[in-house]
Amino acid sequence: MDIGLPSSGNDAPREACGIVGAYLPGSVGVEAAEVAFFGIFALQHRGQESAGIAVGDGRALRSYTNVGLVSQVFRQEDIDRLPGHVAIGHTRYSTTGSSSPLNAQPILSASPTIEIALAHNGNVINAVAQRDKLLEETGAAFKTTTDSEVIAHLLAWSPEQTWEGRAAHLHRRLEGAYSLVIATKDALVAMRDPHGVRPLCLGRYGAGWVVASESAALDHVGAQFLREIDAGETVVIDRSGLRSIPCSVPDARRAHCVFEPIYFARPDSVLEGRLAHGSRERMGQMLARRYPVEADIVIPVPDSGTPAAVGYAKESGIPLEFGLIKNRYVGRTFIEPTQHFRELGVRNKFNPLPEMLTGKRVVLVDDSIVRGTTTPRVIGLLRSGGAREVHLRVCAPPIRHPCHFGVDMATESEFVASGRTVDEVRDTVGADSLAYLTVEQLHEAVSGDSSGAGYCDACFTGRYPIPVQLQLDKFALERPIAQAD
């Protein structure tokens, strides 16, 4: 990933969120909030702005949220104050609405007929219109500036009183991406949009159940991965057991985000039946077959480029070395760097190993390039460490279009590949050579089908599964509040 710096903002695409839900009857012997905590802890890579947990104990819902990393938000006493057999958890990166305590999730919504807590991963592209319509229809009070609250109110204030009806009502009203976990005082509901853009999976925990954005979170809490929740499917878990409600939009185009296997998901997660690590290795093998180069060593941009670098090295026979050491404890900081530390730039994140690099021809493997602000600095680090040549190989095809379904990337004009040929990008980043996988090669590596059927690749092709405005505003829901002031 073309990683950004603390002084210049993060250049990487940012995922929307990680979500977890647990239904654990008393016989399991573990509090649902504890499972939710360790689940979102395992999904910290999907969002670092805020975290929260909501629980139901059969009588009422209660929640706790705050800004910060999961380990910063929760102490043991916070978990102890959240007893109950139903819990949902959320860790957030904002794609609609600003980063603030107000917008931390789970979101609570109460109507005359039901109270729910909701956690959302994705992005709804018609949220403004739906909020305005809800205000006219119900008078529901909006306390946040997120599309997630629109979803929560649509469910709580739905004219339908069954989960079959609520799900169908939601699918009719919303456009965009939404994987959801929902808690009532005594039930857990999981839901995926009809396109299946963002991931969601189901696991068994003794006599209970766990759902999560990624199967790796199930592993971390000791749940057995059963399957992925299907596009458009709703799963309801209560004292009667588990029941599945099939998608009410049978003709919806399946559009699983192809950036999940490229970068977002943990390498130990299963996506569409395939381990992400294996998909990334195959991307590296494809790069080596299609874009070989004479070199002495293969080096990944850690950590996201490592599986592909392994694949490149295996296929090419060129030794794999770790010529860049990553500071694995770099997180969010609110300390403003001085000019001295701004000039140090990428060394805040990486440090080269001259003993590995001196005089070597290097193949540098990365998962993607977005704005292209950091890749030149990484290549500069390798050259300062003694590399004689740097040949860049990138898994993701050139990114030229923004994502509107839960990934905060950049605007079209900010992408380094916009309006540039591959050779021009190569000159911009300072590599001796540059090669990307094509869209077809990427799909072949991910699914074995070069057509890309069932995946969304709009960030490369501009072919969106749902019609969208050319530029959507992540702060659009805040405008009416600002104008009212």
As annotated, the active-site residues are 17
Cβ(386)–Cβ(358) below 8 Å: yes
- How far apart, in whole angstroms, are the C-alpha atoms of residue 121 and residue 129? 20
What contacts 24+ positions apart, CB below 8 Å, involve 130-135?
Answer: 130/154, 130/173, 130/174, 131/477
HEC readout, the chain: CCCCECCCECCCCEECEEEEEEECCHHHCCCHHHHHHHHHHHCHHHCCCEEEEEEECCCCEEEEEEECCHHHHCCHHHHHCCCCCEEEEEEECCCCCCCCHHHCCCEEEECCCCEEEEEEEEEECCHHHHHHHHHHHCCCCCCCCCHHHHHHHHHHCCCCCCHHHHHHHHHHHCCEEEEEEEECCCCEEEEECCCCCCCCEEEEECCEEEEECCHHHHHHHCCEEEEECCCCCEEEEECCEEEEECCCCCCCCCCEECHHHHHHCCCCCEECCEEHHHHHHHHHHHHHHHCCCCCCEEEECCCCCHHHHHHHHHHHCCCECCCEEECCCCCCCCCCCCHHHHHHHHHHCEEECHHHHCCCEEEEEECCCCCCCCHHHHHHHHHHCCCCEEEEEECCCCCCCCCCCCEECCCHHHCCCCCCCHHHHHHHHCCCEEEECCHHHHHHHHHCCCCCCCEECHHHHCCCCCCCCCCCCCCHHHHHHHHHC
The distance from CA 27 to its chain's CA centroid, rounded to whole angstroms, is 33
* Tokens at 323, concatenated: 């010529």
Per the CB < 8 A criterion, the answer to whether 443 and 449 are in contact is yes
